[in-house]
Amino acid sequence: MNGVPVARILGFEVRLHLSWLFIIAIVTVTVAERLTAFQPDITAPLSWAIGLFGSLGFMLTVIAHELAHAIVARRDGKEDEAIVVHFIGSPAVVDIVASTARSEAAIAIAGPAASAAIGAALFAIGYALLTVGPGWAPVADLFAIVGALDLILAGVSVVPAFPLDGGRLVRAAAWARSGSQRVGTKTAGTVGRWTGRAFLIGGLALILGEDIVDGIMIGLVGWFLMASSRSVDRWLVLDELVQGLHVGEAMEQELHTITPQLTLDTFASSILDGTAGPALPVIRDEAVVGIVGAAQVRAVPQRSWPTTRTEDVMVGGAEMPVASPDDTLTDALERLRHSRLDGLPVLDGAILRGVLTRRSIAAILHARAEARGQAL
């Protein structure tokens, strides 16, 4: 999973996307410059210190935005234990579908509502501090600026296009009206495409009006939204290809297995280069007790492979999800996505029948697409 883990809040592992390095720098500069403009007497070190504090505070409010989504999704039965905090939107949002249209809308609106509430509260605090005395003016300005950023975040989030929350709101509305989640997603993609075109036209108009910088920025947003709408089309094609398939048709059946006592140097290279498969079941006394994939191997420095045993890195017990040959591929894909593993053991009772991997899924989907004359 992308992002650097920074905290665990309410049972969720919070990960920050690396883009936050740039966002913190940009917000720090913005806040410092605004403070200098509002408070000409403020010293440069103080303005920069307050700017940094403000950027970190804004980051915390964005985490609150994403936690609001996650908490409502948990009530809908989603089992994700980690959230990746981007500045705005999430590339995976198209794949995340709630159980009902009402739940989809509730999950989507939770983040913007949290940002709007936080922004309004920060504005109120800033205004209250101004009434205390002029000495509080820099702090009051800080609260006002961060509050404004949160209100802007809330407004931008509901723009009706993926990967923004507004795209999910459109999907929920079309889903509720049509009774079909696929129709809802397709409608959201169409609306997002036209929204992107509107931003492109607006950006071009600004450029022709000699507001070149703003025009380029708005045009880039339009291009981004149109690119995201194409990802929706791709998702719909993949979702259609998955329909009707079962795990037994998609799993890898040429099995390589390992034992808990093997050291990583005996098989790690074959996992990383794919010759043995991207994930290997771990067998003890003819029973599957775990699985090891590329992610577990990469977590161990190569110099430690000769002294690290399979049982030290394998995912087993309650943490190891499994699939059966008769499970639908749609359900198993969701299980694989939630697990963040490289593969799932496929068990028929206690008998190992294969391993479901992203590689094996991609192979059957490509074959199915070619048979239908579709492009992936």
How does pLDDT run across 303-362, given as a tens digit for each residue?
Answer: 999 999 999 999 988 778 899 999 999 888 878 877 778 889 999 988 999 999 988 888
Identify whether residues 17 and 154 lie together within a single domain: yes
Identify whether residues 283 and 343 lie together within a single domain: yes
- Count the alpha carbons within 13 Å of 15 in the hemisphere toward its beta carbon: 14
Burial code (b: 16+ CB inside 10 Å, e: under 16) for 302-319 equals: eeebeebebbebbbbeee
Q: Does residue 174 fall inside a structural domain?
A: no
Q: Does residue 163 fall inside a structural domain?
A: no
Q: Whose CA is closest to 98, among 90, 107, 89? A: 107
Q: Tell me the per-residue pLDDT of 27-72, one tens digit each, with 9 for 90 and over.
A: 888 888 877 877 777 788 888 888 888 889 999 999 999 999 989 9
Strand partners, 323: 346
| Sequence-separated (6 or more) residues with CB below 8 Å from residue 295 | 340, 341, 342
* pTM score: 0.75
CA-to-CA distance for 242 and 7, rounded, in angstroms? 36
Show which of 242, 276, 291 is a domain's final residue: 242
Residue type at 10? L
Q: Whose CA is closest to 81, among 9, 145, 142, 138? A: 9
Q: Does residue 91 fall inside a structural domain?
A: yes
Identify whether residues 98 and 208 lie together within a single domain: no
CA-to-CA distance for 216 and 206, rounded, in angstroms? 8
Q: Does residue 8 fall inside a structural domain?
A: yes
Identify whether residues 18 and 126 lie together within a single domain: yes
Domain count of the chain? 3
Q: Tell me the per-residue pLDDT of 79-97, one tens digit each, with 9 for 90 and over.
A: 667 788 887 666 556 666 7
Q: Does residue 171 fall inside a structural domain?
A: no
Residue 351 tokens read as 């008998």
Show which of 224, 242, 260 is a domain's final residue: 242
Strand partners, 10: none
Q: Does residue 136 fall inside a structural domain?
A: yes
Centre a 10 Å sphere on the Cβ of residue 9 and count the other Cβ atoms it contains. Answer: 14
Residue 374 tokens read as 């579709």
Q: Does residue 315 fall inside a structural domain?
A: yes
Identify whether residues 335 and 261 lie together within a single domain: yes
Centre a 10 Å sphere on the Cβ of residue 270 and count the other Cβ atoms it contains. Answer: 15
DSSP, collapsed to helix, strand or coil, labels residue 128 as helix
What average pLDDT is seen over the chain?
87
Identify whether residues 232 and 254 lie together within a single domain: no
DSSP, collapsed to helix, strand or coil, labels residue 80 as coil
Identify whether residues 38 and 72 lie together within a single domain: yes
Ramachandran region, residue 117 (left: φ > 0; alpha: ψ -120 to 50; beta: rest): alpha
DSSP, collapsed to helix, strand or coil, labels residue 11 as coil
Q: Does residue 269 fall inside a structural domain?
A: yes
Q: Tell me the per-residue pLDDT of 231-264, one tens digit each, with 9 for 90 and over.
A: 888 878 787 888 889 999 999 887 789 999 999 9
Strand partners, 284: 287
Identify whether residues 109 and 78 lie together within a single domain: yes
CA-to-CA distance for 281 and 288, rounded, in angstroms? 7
Identify whether residues 125 and 187 lie together within a single domain: no
Identify whether residues 12 and 152 lie together within a single domain: yes
What's the domain range around 15?
4-158
Within its chain, how far is the Cα of 296 from the centroid?
Answer: 21
pLDDT at 104: 93
Show which of 202, 222, 242 is a domain's final residue: 242
Lowest-pLDDT choice from 75-79, 208-212, 259-263: 75-79
What percentage of the chain exceeds 70 in pLDDT?
95
Strand partners, 347: 352
Identify whether residues 300 and 205 lie together within a single domain: no
CATH number for the domain harbouring residue 287: 3.10.580.10
SS3 per-residue string spanning 168-198:
HHHHHHHHHHHCCHHHHHHHHHHHHHHHHHH
Question: Helices 44-75 and 137-157 sit at what angle, rounded to 10 degrees?
Answer: 40
CA-to-CA distance for 343 and 291, rounded, in angstroms? 8
Strand partners, 12: 9
Identify whether residues 272 and 332 lie together within a single domain: yes
